[in-house]
């Protein structure tokens, strides 16, 4: 059987980009059981409440919901168990020191298969205040309106 190539997205945490200012991103492997992998291959997962915590120089992913595999038996996994992240020692040390700073947290952004292996994109992030969120939305709307005006002018020039 040929290995899959490329990146197949399973779940994305769009709310994290709205609620947090993303400082740095990392790609981490996941330690999973067989039924978790099968459930993920069906495209079933939720990152909404997920977060990463450091425990004894190891990174752990909490509150990510991977539903039980429908054809699983007594070997099935629990849906919200903590999962170990696979990172290089330097990355763990950097994340550990940065996450100790006030206001910094580590959140999952995306869960995907890359060349047949389950990966999670995590980000070192800083929580946004309410006015920062409004400012971001305003900038996004302004950018969208500017693009509309530019495309309308281009359409008129073509006609």
pLDDT on residue 72: 61
109 and 78 inside one domain? yes
Is 32 a domain residue? yes
Range(s) of the domain holding residue 139: 129-158
Q: CA nearest 68: which of 83, 59, 78, 55?
A: 78
Give CA angle at 69 (40, 7), nearest 5°.
10
Structural domains counted in the chain:
2
Q: pTM for the full model?
A: 0.71
- 116 lies in the same domain as 87: yes
62, 53 contact by CB (below 8 A): yes
pLDDT band at 156 (very low <50, low <70, confident <90, very high): confident
Quote the distance between the C-alpha of residue 146 and its chain's center: 29
How many helices (H) and strands (E) would you count in the chain? 4, 7
**In terms of domains, do 109 and 137 share one?**
no
Cα 52 to Cα 63: distance, rounded to the nearest angstrom = 9
- Residues near 24 by beta carbon (within 8 Å), at least 6 away in sequence: 98, 123, 124
Tell me if 2 is assigned to some domain.
Answer: no
Same domain assignment for residues 46 and 23: yes
Residue 124 has pLDDT above 80, yes or no: yes
Residues 87 and 110 in one domain: yes
């Amino acid at each position: 059987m040929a290995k899959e190539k490329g990146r197949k997205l399973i779940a994305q945490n769009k709310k994290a980009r709205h609620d947090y200012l993303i400082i740095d991103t990392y790609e981490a492997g996941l330690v999973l059981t067989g039924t978790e992998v099968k459930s993920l291959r069906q495209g079933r997962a939720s990152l909404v409440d997920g977060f990463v915590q450091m425990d004894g120089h190891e990174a752990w992913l909490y509150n990510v919901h991977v539903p039980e595999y429908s054809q699983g038996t007594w070997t099935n996994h629990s849906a919200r168990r903590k999962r170990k992240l696979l990172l290089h020692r330097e990355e763990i040390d950097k994340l550990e020191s940065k996450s100790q700073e006030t206001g910094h947290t580590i959140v999952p952004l995306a869960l995907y298969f890359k060349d047949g292996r389950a990966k999670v994109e995590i980000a070192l992030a800083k929580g946004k205040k309410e006015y920062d969120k409004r400012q971001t939305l305003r900038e996004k709307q302004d950018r969208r309106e500017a693009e509309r005006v530019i495309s309308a002018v281009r359409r008129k020039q073509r006609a």
